[in-house]
């Protein structure tokens, strides 16, 4: 299976490979745009960072040239021209001091200025990514391609922007040094400039090397996400129980091993080619031109006597430097293109247009929510989950949605909250809900879902589900009392400040399933808004406790529209109207009495459930 697991993973990755190779061919315009995009990010964090970094690069490269290459030539020539010792010495001291001060200033710039800005730039890109992830529709989270792009984008967040700046200042450094060195060698004999050009034949080889490395990195990043899944599962406390009670750890560790093996194979596959390309570059770009220059310079000096030893020395030193700077500038230009490839994945992620769009109409002061002939199908589903649904949620009324598991009740709630958009009309106060600003529209609901999660922050913030502000405390305490969880929080002495979970605090509170549901319900008490949605937040409660919870909640929310979902019908009797969903359609609708009188699916379910409760109650009594 090891072999098969790895091969299967490789096949899946190969499918996207052609597409990715296509994506690697970025047009020049996009290459420039991508780099400018990243520089724009840096500029928005600190407008001085780019000019200072480039200025520093220019200053250091000029002083470096003066202090090393030019000083050498000056000293040699000065000796040849018979200049005095002190004249040469003072000049040399001047150049060295200049180079040293440039180094000192450059160091201070890095330590006192640049390093601090580095984090701010990384943070800015991370924020942009997470803000965008928050805007995209829920369906994206069911799409592996989205996750791949998300992971790749995050991979670029911390370092890529500064890589671009590093690259641009590298280009500047190379061009300045190149210009100065070319001038120096040309003044001795231009033929040596030709030798310095030989390493340029390695440019296509280097380009191939970079393309191969990029393709390998992208393939590996995709597998990293797969490798990351077991990491995440082992790390998150929600899975800790299942891992201990089942054989999942063995399976997941093997899954991780397969992913590592795939990475190893990819490295091995590319390893030979990359090494060969690297060797070709070293020979053609370094060994061969240096040998040629040395032979010719020594020949001209020793055999032909056409060059002095000083010139010979300068030529040998500077010609290879020209080659180096030439190759470096070519490499920097290739890095410019290469950076653009990586930035492309980030921009693809950020440029994805969320399908759930914002409108700009103001919300009416109040109104009913109406659904007319609404049909909805999940992207991955073969058939619609909800079909031809028409219903009304009146302001201030209590509406129960009931039905068997999988009937489509939660899906309906997701449509109401615009987590998905459906076919058909959903209006609020007679206006299509897509006309309103998404945040404003969603904000008129206080909702608790069946698969809610507590956050590893304070109890108070788990109630507000936002940053706690001054003056909130009394409202939060009342909400926790109404939900019946305040005493539990006070037991530990932490009260509102109790930290939920032990992820960050060893004294953090661990709640049972039912207690956690009460925390979630406290949010609804605290937020109470035009509409309250309760999507079975009571599965851990027994039917009587559930009934009590709904009764108290409905009393407290008498001025809100309440939409509550349950597959237990004992609580539905509290509703002004009940919709029974069956197979994705509204099968029955009316008050409890009307539906019982109808003697249809609802009445049948109600009687069966009532019978079960009676039997279990009898069993408890007789026991």
Q: Out of 210, 411, 517, 571, point to the residue binding ligand ADP (CB under 6 A).
A: 411
CB 438 within 8 A of CB 457: no
Say how far apart CA 535 and CA 526 lie, in whole Å: 17
- Is 586 one of the binding residues for ligand ADP (CB under 6 A)? no
Binding piece for ligand ADP, criterion CB under 6 A, among 376-384, 493-501, 539-547, 598-606: 376-384
CB of 565 to ligand ADP, least distance (A): 7
- Is 528 one of the binding residues for ligand ADP (CB under 6 A)? no
- Is 408 one of the binding residues for ligand ADP (CB under 6 A)? yes
Q: Out of 53, 160, 206, 409, point to the residue binding ligand ADP (CB under 6 A).
A: 409
Buried residues in 83-104 as b, exposed as e (16+ CB within 10 A): eeeeebeeebeebeebbeebee
Please work out the total of residues on this chain that contact ligand ADP, with binding judged by CB under 6 A: 13
CA end-to-end distance (rounded Å), the chain: 52
Strand, helix or coil for residue 294: helix
Q: What are the φ/ψ torsions at residue 385 (nearest 5 degrees)?
A: -85, -35
Among residues 271 and 583, whose Cβ is nearest to ligand ADP?
583
Binding piece for ligand ADP, criterion CB under 6 A, among 20-28, 171-179, 201-209, 404-412: 404-412
- Is 323 one of the binding residues for ligand ADP (CB under 6 A)? no
CB of 582 to ligand ADP, least distance (A): 10
CB of 376 to ligand ADP, least distance (A): 9
CB 39 within 8 A of CB 165: yes
Strand, helix or coil for residue 568: coil
Binding piece for ligand ADP, criterion CB under 6 A, among 256-264, 378-386, 555-563, 613-621: 378-386
Among residues 149 and 409, whose Cβ is nearest to ligand ADP?
409
CB of 407 to ligand ADP, least distance (A): 4
Q: Out of 403, 537, 543, 561, point to the residue binding ligand ADP (CB under 6 A).
A: 403
Q: Out of 410, 482, 538, 571, point to the residue binding ligand ADP (CB under 6 A).
A: 410
Per-residue contact string for residues 145-184; x = within reach of ligand ADP by CB under 6 A: ----------------------------------------
- Is 381 one of the binding residues for ligand ADP (CB under 6 A)? yes
CB of 535 to ligand ADP, least distance (A): 7
CB 43 within 8 A of CB 36: no
Measured CA angle at 330 (ends 31, 66), to 5 deg: 125
Closest C-alpha among 316, 308, 318 to residue 69: 318
CB of 152 to ligand ADP, least distance (A): 23
- What are the angstrom distances between the C-alpha of 535 and each of 6, 50, 440, 444, 549? 41, 52, 21, 16, 13
Among residues 384 and 508, whose Cβ is nearest to ligand ADP?
384
Would you say how long the chain is, in residues? 623
Q: Out of 293, 329, 385, 482, point to the residue binding ligand ADP (CB under 6 A).
A: 385
- Is 537 one of the binding residues for ligand ADP (CB under 6 A)? no
CB of 156 to ligand ADP, least distance (A): 29
Closest C-alpha among 343, 441, 400 to residue 589: 400
Say how far apart CA 110 and CA 52 lie, in whole Å: 11
CB 221 within 8 A of CB 151: yes
- What are the angstrom distances between the C-alpha of 404 and each of 449, 484, 541, 609? 17, 28, 18, 12
Among residues 122 and 403, whose Cβ is nearest to ligand ADP?
403
Q: Out of 250, 304, 353, 380, point to the residue binding ligand ADP (CB under 6 A).
A: 380
Q: Out of 407, 489, 496, 549, point to the residue binding ligand ADP (CB under 6 A).
A: 407
Binding piece for ligand ADP, criterion CB under 6 A, among 80-88, 180-188, 374-382, 506-514: 374-382
Question: Which residues have C-beta within 8 Å of that of residue 539, sequence separation ≥ 6?
Answer: 450, 517
- Is 313 one of the binding residues for ligand ADP (CB under 6 A)? no
- What are the angstrom distances between the C-alpha of 597 and each of 400, 593, 600, 606, 618? 18, 6, 8, 12, 27
- What are the angstrom distances between the C-alpha of 212 and each of 27, 327, 550? 18, 19, 61
Strand, helix or coil for residue 373: strand
Closest C-alpha among 272, 269, 268, 287 to residue 202: 287
Tokens coding 224: 């990293």
CB of 610 to ligand ADP, least distance (A): 21
Q: At what angle do helices 248-282 and 2-15 cross, to 10 degrees?
A: 60
Say how far apart CA 252 and CA 247 lie, in whole Å: 9
Among residues 404 and 438, whose Cβ is nearest to ligand ADP?
404
Q: Out of 130, 352, 378, 613, point to the residue binding ligand ADP (CB under 6 A).
A: 378
CB of 399 to ligand ADP, least distance (A): 15
Closest C-alpha among 225, 219, 256 to residue 5: 256
Among residues 353 and 405, whose Cβ is nearest to ligand ADP?
405
Among residues 406 and 492, whose Cβ is nearest to ligand ADP?
406
CB 152 within 8 A of CB 346: yes
Among residues 362 and 406, whose Cβ is nearest to ligand ADP?
406
CB of 142 to ligand ADP, least distance (A): 5
CB of 411 to ligand ADP, least distance (A): 3
CB 447 within 8 A of CB 537: no
Binding piece for ligand ADP, criterion CB under 6 A, among 342-350, 408-416, 493-501, 503-511: 408-416
Q: Out of 142, 497, 599, 611, point to the residue binding ligand ADP (CB under 6 A).
A: 142
Query: Which residues are near ligand ADP by CB under 6 A?
Result: 142, 378, 380-381, 385, 403, 405-411
């Amino acid at each position: 299976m090891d072999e098969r697991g790895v091969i299967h993973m490789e096949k899946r990755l190969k499918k996207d490979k052609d597409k990715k190779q296509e994506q690697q061919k970025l047009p020049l315009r996009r290459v420039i745009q991508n780099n400018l995009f990243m520089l724009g990010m840096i500029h928005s964090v600190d407008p001085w960072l780019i000019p200072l970094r480039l200025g520093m690069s220019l200053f250091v490269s000029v002083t470096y040239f003066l202090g090393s290459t030019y000083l050498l030539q000056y000293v040699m020539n000065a000796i040849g021209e018979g200049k005095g010792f002190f004249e040469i010495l003072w000049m040399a001291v001047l150049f060295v001091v200049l180079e040293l001060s440039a180094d000192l200033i450059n160091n201070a710039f890095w330590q006192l200025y640049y390093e601090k800005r580095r984090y701010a730039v990384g943070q800015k890109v991370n924020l942009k990514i997470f803000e965008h992830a928050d805007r995209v529709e829920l369906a994206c989270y069911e799409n592996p391609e989205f996750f791949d792009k998300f992971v790749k984008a995050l991979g670029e967040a911390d370092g890529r922007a500064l890589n671009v700046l590093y690259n641009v200042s590298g280009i500047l450094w190379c061009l300045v040094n190149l210009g100065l060195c070319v001038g120096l060698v040309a003044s001795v004999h231009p033929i040596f400039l030709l030798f310095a050009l030989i390493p340029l034949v390695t440019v296509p080889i280097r380009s191939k090397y970079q393309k191969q490395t990029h393709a390998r990195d992208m393939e590996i990043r995709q597998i990293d996400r797969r490798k990351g899944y077991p990491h995440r599962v082992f790390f998150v406390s929600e899975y800790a129980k299942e891992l201990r009670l089942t054989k999942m750890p063995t399976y997941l560790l093997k899954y991780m091993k397969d992913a590592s093996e795939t990475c190893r194979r990819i490295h091995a596959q590319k390893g030979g080619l990359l090494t060969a390309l690297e060797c070709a570059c070293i020979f053609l770009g370094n060994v061969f031109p240096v040998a040629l220059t040395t032979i010719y310079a020594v020949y001209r000096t020793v055999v032909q006597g056409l060059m002095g030893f000083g010139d010979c020395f300068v030529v040998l030193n500077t010609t290879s430097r020209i080659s180096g700077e030439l190759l470096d500038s070519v490499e920097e230009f290739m890095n410019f293109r290469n950076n653009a490839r990586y930035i492309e994945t980030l921009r693809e992620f950020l440029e994805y247009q969320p399908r759930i769009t914002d409108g700009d109409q103001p919300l009416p002061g109040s109104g009913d929510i109406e659904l007319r002939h609404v049909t909805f199908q999940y992207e991955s589903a073969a058939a619609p989950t909800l079909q031809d649904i028409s219903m009304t949620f009146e302001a201030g009324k209590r509406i129960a949605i009931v039905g068997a598991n999988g009937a489509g009740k939660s899906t309906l709630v997701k449509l109401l909250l615009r987590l998905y958009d459906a076919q058909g009309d959903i209006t609020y106060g007679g206006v299509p809900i897509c006309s309103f600003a998404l945040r404003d529209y969603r904000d008129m609901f206080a909702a608790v879902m069946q698969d809610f999660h507590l956050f590893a922050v304070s109890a108070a913030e788990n109630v507000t589900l936002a940053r706690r502000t001054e003056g909130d405390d009394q409202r939060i305490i009342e909400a926790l009392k109404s939900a019946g969880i305040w005493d539990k929080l006070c037991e530990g002495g932490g009260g509102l400040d109790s930290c939920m979970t032990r992820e960050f605090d060893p004294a953090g509170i661990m709640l049972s399933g039912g207690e956690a549901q009460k925390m979630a319900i406290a949010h609804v008490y605290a937020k109470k808004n035009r509409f309250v949605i309760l999507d079975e937040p009571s599965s851990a409660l027994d039917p009587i406790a559930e009934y009590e919870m709904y009764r108290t909640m409905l009393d407290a929310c008498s001025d809100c529209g309440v939409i509550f979902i349950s597959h237990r019908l004992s609580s539905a009797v509290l509703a002004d109207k009940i919709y029974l969903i069956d197979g994705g359609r509204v099968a029955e609708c009316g008050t409890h009495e009307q539906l019982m009188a109808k003697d249809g699916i609802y009445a049948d379910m109600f009687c069966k459930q009532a019978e079960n409760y009676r039997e279990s109650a009898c069993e408890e009594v007789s026991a």
